[in-house]
């Protein structure tokens, strides 16, 4: 069994990446092989609307025909047994690099039927990790949850299995807040709150990894 995590944050050792590593540690505890991809290390674009993946009887039907830094990753994904996407939230949605990745990952599998179908060659569990500066109540007030629900629906449609959403709110953004212009909340309080709750979130992430690597376990949380 192989579980692959995709980090859509430009930072490799901060909130999003740390949670992804704990998920992979949980999966490893169940014997899974794991891998972590940092999107900001790659050179690629979003979907170019070439539609080669939709050509009837085309040699790239169901596969992205663009060749760049994403090509080997997209080629690896059909062989994994579980996938986790992770991204910070920028202005209410995932990072630009994650969004470009999602376009390239999902569109080739999408079959224009009513209802839509997926060409993904199997069924695999998935998860989406979101980290953000705002409070949970603001997520609902600002409508962020519409974006999160849409991502979950697409993941489940493409991969044919439940997708868990994992949220980390009011994250610690900086090592040293005194160097930053930050009057959004009391920095000292933010540091105290974040440093107190983040270890618990890491344990929850570990448990998510255990579920992803345990057949039938994730359905209990769908």
What is the distance of C-alpha 176 from the center of its chain? 27
Phi-psi region of 33 (alpha: psi -120 to 50; beta: other; left: phi over 0): beta
Structure tokens at 94: 């995932």
pLDDT of res. 77: 96
pLDDT of res. 80: 96
For residue 172, give the nearest of 190, 189, 153 by alpha carbon.
Answer: 190
* Dihedral sign for Cα atoms in the order 151, 152, 157, 158: positive
Return the exposure string of 67-81: e unless at least 16 CB atoms fall within 10 Å of the residue's CB, then b: eeebbebbeebeebb
Per-residue pLDDT of the chain (222 residues; tens, 9 = 90+): 999 999 999 999 999 999 999 999 999 999 999 999 999 999 999 999 999 999 998 889 999 999 999 999 999 999 999 999 999 999 999 999 999 999 999 999 999 888 889 999 999 999 999 999 888 888 888 889 999 999 999 999 999 999 999 999 989 888 888 888 888 788 888 888 888 999 999 999 999 999 999 876 555 544
pLDDT of res. 127: 97
Distance CA 132, CA 90 (A): 8
- Cis ω for the linkage preceding 41 (within 30 of 0): no
> Is-contact 131 15, C-beta < 8 A?
yes
> Is-contact 83 6, C-beta < 8 A?
yes
pLDDT of res. 147: 93
> Is-contact 191 8, C-beta < 8 A?
no
pLDDT of res. 217: 58
Sorted by where each starts, the structural domains of the chain and their CATH numbers stand as 2-221 (3.40.50.360)
pLDDT of res. 220: 52
């Amino acid at each position: 069994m192989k579980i692959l995590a995709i980090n859509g944050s430009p930072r490799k050792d901060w909130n999003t990446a740390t949670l992804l590593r704990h998920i992979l540690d949980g999966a490893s505890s169940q014997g899974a092989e794991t891998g972590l991809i940092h999107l900001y290390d790659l050179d690629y674009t979003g979907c170019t609307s070439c539609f080669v993946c939709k050509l009837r009887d085309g040699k790239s039907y169901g596969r992205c025909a663009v060749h760049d830094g994403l090509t080997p990753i997209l080629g690896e994904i059909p062989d994994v047994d579980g996938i986790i996407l992770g991204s910070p939230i920028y202005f209410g949605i995932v990072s630009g690099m994650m969004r470009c990745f999602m376009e390239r990952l999902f569109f080739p599998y999408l079959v224009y039927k009513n209802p839509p179908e997926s060409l993904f060659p199997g069924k695999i569990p998935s998860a989406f990790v979101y980290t953000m500066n705002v409070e949970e109540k603001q997520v609902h007030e600002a409508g962020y949850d519409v974006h999160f629900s849409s991502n979950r629906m697409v993941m489940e449609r493409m991969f044919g299995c439940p997708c868990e959403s994992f949220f980390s709110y009011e994250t610690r953004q900086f090592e040293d807040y005194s160097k930053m212009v930050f009057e959004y909340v009391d920095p000292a309080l933010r540091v105290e709150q974040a440093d107190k709750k983040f270890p618990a979130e890491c344990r929850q992430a570990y448990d998510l990894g255990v579920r992803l690597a345990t057949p039938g376990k994730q359905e209990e949380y769908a």
